[in-house]
Structure 1
């Protein structure tokens, strides 16, 4: 879930939640003016359980954003008309008639909830907004398709056949790979055996050559004039002397 401070820091995120004014009554009952659409600055402060000074500072820092949310100050003829149409707001809510009246619609009040740091009510509103958003995401997020080994099978269900077919396919693939490895091992063994045969044949040739050299030396003890006697290795000479 997104952190609560994300709403405090991001104007874009606050704008994305601006239409969810119903959460205000979910957290705490919001008393409206007789028109059912607005509240006064004092009523906003009472809702968030802060003093008027705190709310006025917030209004000064974020006036443009709150104006876009519907905050409006009525004066003159507009105020008198509103008082007349709204069951004498000034006479009922204010004992003394005023020259101006600041009105906050629900959208602006929600905007305050997303801006006001030092208010437990505002924090609860932000938390509720984020909880609703997270629940909405989970409801619209498609469930991931479980892997075959993660599925729950019921006895006699058609999924068992699918599972067995999948297992059979896997085992067949493993068997094919093992057969391929076995053939390669066999081919390698044949090559090794052929090399051993060649080495044995070469050894026999060397032994036969060695025997012929010994016979030649025995049959030719005295060299003929002008003919060099075959040169024998030192080891062969020692053997002959013996």
Structure 2
């Protein structure tokens, strides 16, 4: 039976070829008797251990793992295979050998040799054993230990890197928590709305939810004499309000999406112009806590929409009446 270049192992395909069975049969034997086979030398190489073994033995394979059978494991497989003529022949050979050895007369002539010759023979045998052990240690055990040490070092680096990532994430979470606390404090300090002029601080409106902002605009409309003020739709992003001005004109207002660091675009303004036409409103007010793009301003001017940008909103909240509501 041919061996790998290390002279000690064979692969799954080599075992299957030797016993003249399919590789799936060998894999099934390993699946059913893995613990027994591992006890006799079967192992699967992966990662750095596989790379080092390929470098050491000169074997070429592009798989992520490599199953290795020792000679003892191959004999173990022969004992477990049922439907293989070769396996049956191996079993018969082992049984015949055991019978022959067991019934062979013991040769005691060696005991009649001089003591110094017996000592020399024993020393020579010990030397051969020592050389074999040294060869095995140098070609398999030591390289494998080196590979394991190298792998442990790489794993330690990975753990250290993961720990740094966790620390960075913890710092970011702490920063976000501080920001949330600041927003909560700002909301707690925001005065309640009522019949008196509403708070004009942009910080207070920035801290509002979409629904709260819509209710804030509704209170501003009521304060300036509007009646039948209703919030038709609303959510976290925007809301549409309808009302009647003090002189009876129909009004529609839009509380725009208050996403920070993004100007209101002309597309959003055109969509609101369509809402104005749908409601057949005489007065249209677009309220935003963020700036409007030049294109959005142009669309609003052409369609007769009162654009309440951030600065105008602060003045309106502080008590100034919108020109469109007078």
Report which of the two has the higher share of strand: 2
Shared topology, TM-score over 0.5? no
How would you bin the TM-score normalised by the shorter chain?
0.3 to 0.5
TM-score by length of 2: 0.32
TM-score by length of 1: 0.43
RCO comparison, higher one (Cα < 8 Å, 6+): 1
Which one has a bigger Cα radius of gyration?
A: 1
